[in-house]
Chains A and B, each alone.
Chain A
Amino acid sequence: EAEVAQSPRYKITEKSQAVAFWCDPISGHATLYWYRQILGQGPELLVQFQDESVVDDSQLPKDRFSAERLKGVDSTLKIQPAELGDSAMYLCASSTGQGPYEQYFGPGTRLTVT
């Protein structure tokens, strides 16, 4: 069964350092999402891609976060510089399109900023 791949699974970094997360969606899925999940909360969308284009990044803190999906396949989410409040689970999801399709999630990257 096809899965969304993410790496690393765990990341510990110091405040003010740069950190990057990688996501490989299910093959053929045009839409890719990055969510942030703070402990005890539901996931919140950071950015949505349709192929290589950003569709929604209204909740992305653009002063420190960036995301790209250069060839419309895998994607990278970067934080620079990391802050203590960025400690969270970062989840990647993909779906076949922009419609009301199920989003399939990867295992996530748990980030701890010290």
Chain B
Amino acid sequence: AQKVTQAQTEISVVEKEDVTLDCVYETRDTTYYLFWYKQPPSGELVFLIRRNSFDEQNEISGRYSWNFQKSTSSFNFTITASQVVDSAVYFCALRGGITGANSKLTFGKGITLSVRP
């Protein structure tokens, strides 16, 4: 069984602060894929990043960075110099690496981030 835990439920920061969103996952697959999605108030899930289990290199994209650590089964997301537009619900998701029909994503419960001016 696969599981994604986002222990933080709500985070509130002041604009320009850095914030880290935690994600811990469980899977028995040796190959798997991790994702982060952003859900603004409009409701649409916006894809942010995909990480393969065999690639532990951290990634930076502008103000966003991701820290993948297989040893602790974590895939954390950091927003540097947060902005009001970053306010949204952020989901971490997991997909097993078994090839075949089922490619569904298992999502965490999400973290609501509020960035105050």
| Interface set of A (CB-CB < 8 Å, partner B) | 31, 33, 40-45, 48, 50, 55-56, 89, 91, 93, 95, 98-108, 110
Q: A100-B52, A100-B95, A102-B35 are known contacts. Are A50 and B101 too (CB-CB below 8 A)?
A: yes
Cβ B47 vs Cβ A108 within 8 A = no
CB distance from A52 to the nearest CB of B (A): 14
Cβ B43 vs Cβ A95 within 8 A = no
Cβ A95 vs Cβ B103 within 8 A = yes
Q: A98-B100, A100-B33, A100-B50 are known contacts. Are A42 and B110 too (CB-CB below 8 A)?
A: yes
Cα distance, A93 to B104, chains bound together (Å): 11
Cα distance, A107 to B104, chains bound together (Å): 19
Cα distance, A40 to B9, chains bound together (Å): 9
CB distance from B12 to the nearest CB of A (A): 17
Residue B102 CB within 8 A of the other chain? yes
Q: Among A40, A93, A95, which residue has its beta carbon within 8 angstroms of that of B109?
A: A40
Q: A98-B100, A100-B33 are known contacts. Are A42 and B47 too (CB-CB below 8 A)?
A: no
Q: A89-B43, A103-B47, A108-B44 are known contacts. Are A56 and B104 too (CB-CB below 8 A)?
A: yes
With A55-B102, A105-B44 already in contact, 17 other A-B pairs whose C-beta atoms are closer than 8 Å = A33-B104, A41-B109, A41-B110, A42-B109, A44-B107, A45-B105, A48-B102, A48-B104, A89-B43, A98-B100, A98-B103, A99-B103, A100-B97, A102-B35, A105-B46, A108-B43, A108-B44
Chain A residues in 8 Å Cβ range of B52: 100
Cβ B103 vs Cβ A42 within 8 A = no
